[in-house]
Structure 1
């Protein structure tokens, strides 16, 4: 009886991840844009990003939108970030390099850097991207087309990830969580703040809207400032769109599983509102639906009861369809039980640090 209930629920979840993304627009499909005179600033904070500078600048140099400037902020790096920025941007007048300021007490480091960057932009639309992000030459054009077509004031999305194989089992869960847990119709077609998701690796926002909501200064101490900005946009009655940007935007997020673990630890518990009940509930959910099918599969193999493989097949299909849509190798769907276990582990690590008052450490800075 339990087997049939589990299989039925797995089948329902599979149908949900098939249907839910119908309301997740594909950024690359928007091509018609009438306002080619719109001025654009691409704003990028960099702190100890020397390994990313060559690839980042090569990506930006290929962008073919005309009314464009790139403003890059060296956020008090201790490596060669600044000198490499000067070297790789030499001769291209579209680039401006500025120095970061001392981090004020209470501010999140990246938030303060983005705030500083915004003060140097007078463009009609600002793009905030991270140093580990690479964009295609037409990304700006497609984003402006989406904003115009959908009457959106803000657009965000999760890139396709190009990390090492072990890291991919964790980072690609970001796409899966969005497809499974976020009702995308309400996220993209209502101003309900509870149904908001955004990714700070890629945010496009109108300058007028940014000023209206108070910009990054309004979320100065947040570790999930991307989501908070999206909620503020909705709170002010304007439209925020979460899009599938994976054909046009990629990211080299983490080199090692340790970096990935630390990166997710700093915001996953905060991302669910520091809810202990929510953390326990999510852990039970993923244990039942995405780890227990693996245990059933072991039983099936040992006892040659092949029908008990069905729940695992359905979990793999769920992750697989999300991986294909987000231009991730379906290979990683085979490790869905491992991905679920890693997600639970990161969540409990994050909750433990919050409960015990231990600081989250990132880029050499500590946050509570």
Structure 2
């Protein structure tokens, strides 16, 4: 039994080690670039109960070096002070009062669709209210989409992690991304398996977005960013996915409950597999990443596997601009959280228990 577990662990740990090492040197990172482009960029922000985020988000948008832009925010029937804060910016931005959510739509998709209908830009930049932009972020993204001739540029922001509960969960996003996907292949390979996108920052060429049907084509899709990426891949449309580096930041959650609910919302759905297959996967990756650190029956193999696990966490932490020591110390607990949140995600998805922004999904 132990031998079989070692073989499984060796397979998964080796994959994570090789992929994370590859990403250390090749994963694209958005860097400062000057752009000669002067096409209009529509910065589109859906906001529902974002009183703690919206001001800092807008301040970052307004100070962009890219000057030909419009900023449109949709207040999605907020019950807090979001609209009051937005009104203080009314002379600088366009504010839309969101319509009531139709039964056959999910909230964010509906909000983004309404935003796109009001946008005049040649480029549509969808960002979440918790995203923070360096002054050069938009200009750099526009130049990136121009140089690569992509239809879509998507960015995984550098995560700001402040509390212990966030450290247990938030680093898992980049661990899964950079441990299992050579990120450079999202752009360079036609293979449909190499796909990733993040709805926190998505810059579209408007004509391609419209041609694909926009968010109305994915009305009830909970992981719309990944589905957009899959559609692009299937149609041979170029997309590029990058890390935020020092240009795009985000603090996704502020406490344990938010982190669990947020991660569970997309975890199972994002894999596009059945519950049994997903359960097997999360069991194997959690066990494989824990076993060599716990069982030392074979000293040689355990030492090799433990070394690869440690190095993988170092590689991914460096590329993600995360604290290496924190990720190493909390690695066993984070791997347990992979399994726990995976179970929660299956349960809530199958029994209609998923909620976000006080709405059922």
Report if TM-score (shorter chain) is over 0.5: yes
SS of match in other structure, 1:157 = strand
Report the Cα distance in structure 2 between the residues aligned to 1:44 and 1:291, rounded to whole angstroms. Answer: 40
Contact 2:50 2:82 in 1 (8 A): yes
After superposition, the CA RMSD in angstroms is: 2.3
Paired residue for 2:305?
Answer: 311
Question: CA shift at 1:166, angstroms?
Answer: 2.1
SS of match in other structure, 1:268 = helix
Paired residue for 1:154?
Answer: 152
Residue ranges of structure 2 left out of the alignment (5+ in a row): none
Report the Cα distance in structure 2 between the residues aligned to 1:8 and 1:118, rounded to whole angstroms. Answer: 45
Question: CA shift at 1:257, angstroms?
Answer: 1.0
Q: Deviations over 1:180-219 (max 9, x none)?
A: 2224344222344332111111100110110010000011
* Alignment pair present for 1:34 and 2:30: no
Residue ranges of structure 1 left out of the alignment (5+ in a row): none
Question: CA shift at 1:310, angstroms?
Answer: 4.9
Paired residue for 2:16?
Answer: 13
Question: CA shift at 1:359, angstroms?
Answer: 2.4
SS of match in other structure, 1:83 = helix
Paired residue for 1:138?
Answer: 136
Query: What is the TM-score normalised by the length of structure 2?
Result: 0.91
RCO higher in structure (CA 8 A, sep ≥6): 2
1:1-368 → structure 2 map (5 Å cutoff): 2=3, 6=9, 10=13, 13-20=16-23, 22-28=25-31, 31-35=33-37, 37-87=38-88, 89=89, 91-92=91-92, 95-163=93-161, 164-296=163-295, 308=302, 310-334=304-328, 335-355=330-350, 357-367=351-361
Q: Deviations over 1:263-297 (max 9, x none)?
A: 11122111111422321232232233212133137
Contact 2:13 2:289 in 1 (8 A): no
Alignment coverage as a number of residue pairs:
356
Mean Cα deviation higher: 333-342 or 178-187: 178-187
Question: CA shift at 1:59, angstroms?
Answer: 1.7
Report the Cα distance in structure 2 between the residues aligned to 1:282 and 1:53, rounded to whole angstroms. Answer: 37
Q: Deviations over 1:63-94 (max 9, x none)?
A: 1211011101100000000001112x2543xx
Relative to structure 1, the CA distance from residue 56 to residue 312 in structure 2 (aligned partners, 3 Å threshold; closer, same or farther) is same
Question: CA shift at 1:22, angstroms?
Answer: 4.5
Relative to structure 1, the CA distance from residue 296 to residue 221 in structure 2 (aligned partners, 3 Å threshold; closer, same or farther) is same
SS of match in other structure, 1:28 = coil
